[in-house]
Structure 1
Amino acid sequence: MKTNLKKATLLLTGLMVGSKLFAQTPDSASTRNYVQPFSDGGAFRTWSIGVNGGLLTPFTVFGWNHNQDFSHPTSQVGYGGYIKKQILPSFGIQADFLRGKVSGEEGQGTNSSFETKLNYAASISGVFTLANINWRHQKGAIQPYLTAGWGLMGYKPAVNGVAFKANNESVKEAYIPVGLGLKFNLGPGVNLDMGYQVNFVQSDNFDGYKVNGGADKFSYAHIGLEFALGKSSKPQLATHNPVNSMRTEYLWENQKTKDALQAQIDAEKAANAKLRSDLDATNANLAKFTVDSDADGVPDLYDKCPNTPAGTKVDGSGCPLAKPEVKVYVTEEDKRVVKDAINNLEFDLGKATIRAKSYPSLDRVAKLLTDKNFSLKLAGHTDNTGSDALNLALSKDRAESIKAYLVSKGANASRIEATGYGESQPIATNKTASGRQANRRVEFTLY
């Protein structure tokens, strides 16, 4: 028994080492597994061979093992091989061959043991591959499978060393193999095969002992390697994912359509760019007849007085017309409007933000400037609280704030001058609160 376990351990170790070596050469070509949808079988590798080894035992996952002729099964080494033809991605036909020994101890009511030499077991099975359809991957890394078939075997059973047949001839019987397993893809044409098979013998003499009258059975747990036959450039049909090939085909066709549309768009853009270039050249040729650099209404070609200021009225040759002098008079009412704005002017403490209370009187000043086209000088002043630089900046900011407000109400910005003097021009002493308040002011000069 220990010798058999050592043999099985060495067998499994060799197969696992072989799988590691094959695993070092993965499929690096991303398109290797693509096959045009609805291609015939010639686009795939459909034939494969396999070798395996494992343990043979009368113990199975079916039925009550203690009711067998020998209730204490032992394990023996078995080995086999197969050739398979894949018909569809999910179905193939496989011819199997198996050899080895099956043994057990403690027959019904006795201390006997048996050992059956399995000279051969040959069968034809259908192999149903599962879970090889995947929308995300070109192929799955693992393929579960189920097998079921029919075969013939030749074996020599012996009980306590005594052959079942006196002449030591082989017994020939039919059997039904049923199994399941997993295949792991190690490379483009190599799979690691791990399976479990139960063989139902069509008689009760497989163990050389007939007691219960039921058919004998034994199991074969194995591990091995499968090699795909054919050109390495073709994928295995059993591992191929036809659904994902259809998806890949759709993505490629969709990309071709996008590329064609993009090429058409690029061609139209190029044609439009040429038309634009031709139009720009034509406009450049016509520009000398239409360009009016000073915007006085007279083209440069005929303008005898170029670069006249904006808004200047000119004659037919582009020269300014004589402008009558208009005198502006400041009335007492105008002065009262300005004085009222000064009296009502308030800012946020230490800031140039005008308080809303000042808006109505400033609005009247803005209307006065727009109606009579007056000019206005704004002079900002502060007390001596704080640094000189800070006071100068604050006085300038407040004058500019008033100017910005008046301009927003329609006043001509070119006619308003905003200046800041800081604390340099006090009109009262800075030693008292009232004096400092008087010095914090913005003066309006209307002219």
Structure 2
Amino acid sequence: MRIKTHSTLLLLAASITLASCQSTPKNTIIDKQVYVLPKVLIEALADTDNDGVPDELDNCPNTPEGVVTDEYGCPVAVNLIGYLTMELRVFFERNSNELQTKYLIELEKVAEKMHSDPELVVVLSGHISEPEAVQIAVDIDGKMNQAKADKRLLGRERAQIIKNALIKRNIARDKIYTFDCADSMPIAPNDTEEGASMNQRIYGKALKADDFYTGSGHEQSLTYYKEFCQQF
């Protein structure tokens, strides 16, 4: 009888101990480990000219500092210089005055800028490359026919093409000033095909009429253009 009672007490004590091990006290905080993704260090892609486009994607790898570029690292045709000034650059194939369709959106931007302020005028200067000028000289001094003689006006024709495009966009004729600058104002060496193509261009600028007339900013004034170019 004593042995049985003692066994019963031992079993009861063991049950209580086991139950206490399996239960979790209330208000107990269980630590949870949060999985954190490891940081992977990625080496920055090289961007030699610091235009924001990696060299491996940059189609114009030597862009000057401060020039606004597109997603391919090349200068954009239109550049907002200030609140009331806008530049336009249009380039042409050798001995051509054909306006490429890719520049139409830039013309739209200039027209929109002009419509935004009645005091603005637009100045257009037509330029040719030295190789084009040499060809023209040969045509004029040698045996000349009408088709070749017309090439003398190539810079003028390029400016006129842009002027007509702006007129079609409801810009008044008396707000457009055009100049034939021939090959007198190159922006790149003419001894390479790429350099010559940069000189086969139209340069335009929309600015305040007073600034243009009075010569505010000499390089964008009427006086400056008359020093190098023929107004028409």
The TM-score with structure 2 as length reference comes to 0.43
More strand by share: 1
Larger radius of gyration: 1
The TM-score with structure 1 as length reference comes to 0.23
More helix by share: 2
Greater RCO, 1 or 2 (C-alpha within 8 Å, sep 6+)? 2
